[in-house]
Structure 1
Amino acid sequence: MICKHQRESVPSWQLNIIFRFTNIWREVAIYTRFYLVSIHSGMGDHQVIYDRLSKIPIEFGNSFRLFFGDDIANEYTDLLKLQILLVKNLIDSQVRGDTRAVNQNIKLIYDVADRRAVLLAQVNPFWVQREIQSLIYSYLSLIMEETITFLIKDYARSIDIFDRLLSYSTVIGDYYAQGLYNYIMSNQTQAE
């Protein structure tokens, strides 16, 4: 977490982006939950929810672009969009009972997670590939546990997992934010 004395040396627009990074993972968890509820209950329009979920990588990419440029931002945005699409496809495959598609989506989800970790570690020395990979894997594991609780109608456990997912989204968001802060400060020091 970024302390008060650290904030004083960073422009407010950069601080806003850093703090935004802490909330992105919470939004993914919440909108994924909305999608699960919609699919399993028939309430609401799951496509509208998925469309909103799909905007999160674009918002993230726009912030990313300011620090790492268009090419890196576009690549990361595409990977995060693909990850969200694959989680959606996993949920849809589970509902259909298509075990082959479920297994294929799980493999692809982790392949994309690996690619995201590699990319992040390449662009920022304060994001360590193994640490990022571990954070993403744990996050995805909780998402997948949550999808299973809906399938087996274990709603009490689902709430517990969702609570853990929200807490964990803070951990992963803080890691991203601290890494970005360190990157900014490192670049400021080099410029002086």
Structure 2
Amino acid sequence: MRTHHEATFRASTVSLLAALALTGGLLTACSANASAEPASFATHSHSGSSESARQAEPATAETQLSSAMRTLWDQHMAWTWSTVVAFAEGSPGLDATVARLLANQADIGDAIAPFYGDDAAARLTELLQTHITQAIPVLTAAEAGDTTALNAALDDWYANARDIADFLADANPNWAKGELRKMMKTHITQTTGYAADVLTGDYEAAITAFDGAHAHMAHMADELSAGLIAQFPSRF
């Protein structure tokens, strides 16, 4: 049964042609692509000596995990934003941007291999990349004004997000299925929200909404890190 929020979203989706299915990057370890994050999303410190002191502290396994998790989430957010903007502006760089976003999903899948094995990594990558490619029927139906097809595409999109949450919950008892479903659904909702603002040219509102989405994903990253540390204490 659809929630009121989902029904409201569906009613306005025809005007959200860039409702790209851009899922949360979900697990540990920086990939070789970490340096490829767009410059506009790079983090710069202005805190002076206090930041230097923190950097001088020896990294623990826990802090390394948390940092790697945050990097994957930050890259996901950066390329999600870039993709939405490229789509809205008809940029010739759209295909390359989507390809980089898909690569981020593979990075996320590869990152769980040390914990859950190669088969699990491949399955997570498949789920995440499916989640992105499911944007195509959403966009096509929205552009055509085909409400029936649009509703069907959105049903698939939300179902895939639940599948991702369920996959992770089955892998780690410290990740509650209900909470993961809620976090994944929130990520989709926030993404479509700022995509709508971009499409209507309200970049100020889009940036404000993006900041909220980024904070949500940082929280999710920390929750996932905590779950891994709890499940594999001997590694930390």
Normalised to the residue count of structure 2, the TM-score between the two structures is 0.67
| Conservation of the 8 A alpha-carbon contact between 1:146 and 1:162 | yes
| Conservation of the 8 A alpha-carbon contact between 1:21 and 1:60 | no
Which one of 181, 185, 189 corresponds to residue 229 of structure 2? 181
Which one of 36, 39, 43 corresponds to residue 84 of structure 2? 36
Per-residue deviation, residues 125-145 of structure 1 (Å, max 9, x unmatched):
111101111111111110111
Q: Which has the higher helix share?
A: 1
Give me the whole-angstrom Cα distance separating, in 1, the residues matched to 2:135 and 2:67: 25
Give me the whole-angstrom Cα distance separating, in 2, the residues matched to 1:93 and 1:152: 18
Give me the whole-angstrom Cα distance separating, in 2, the residues matched to 1:116 and 1:143: 17
Identity %: 22
| Conservation of the 8 A alpha-carbon contact between 1:18 and 1:180 | no
| Conservation of the 8 A alpha-carbon contact between 1:29 and 1:143 | no
- Unaligned residue ranges in structure 2 (runs of 5+): 1-58
Normalised to the residue count of structure 1, the TM-score between the two structures is 0.81
Per-residue deviation, residues 65-112 of structure 1 (Å, max 9, x unmatched):
110012211111110111122245535654555544433332111101
Give me the whole-angstrom Cα distance separating, in 2, the residues matched to 1:101 and 1:173: 33
**Partner residue of 2:165?**
117
**Partner residue of 1:82?**
130
- One-letter identity of the residue aligned with 1:67: F
- One-letter identity of the residue aligned with 2:197: T
**Partner residue of 1:48?**
96
Per-residue deviation, residues 134-175 of structure 1 (Å, max 9, x unmatched):
111111110111222233332221111111111111011111
**Residues 94, 35 of structure 1: alpha-carbon distance in 2 compared, 3 angstrom cutoff:** farther
- Unaligned residue ranges in structure 1 (runs of 5+): 1-6
**Partner residue of 1:71?**
119
Q: CA-atom RMSD, angstroms?
A: 2.3
**Partner residue of 2:207?**
159
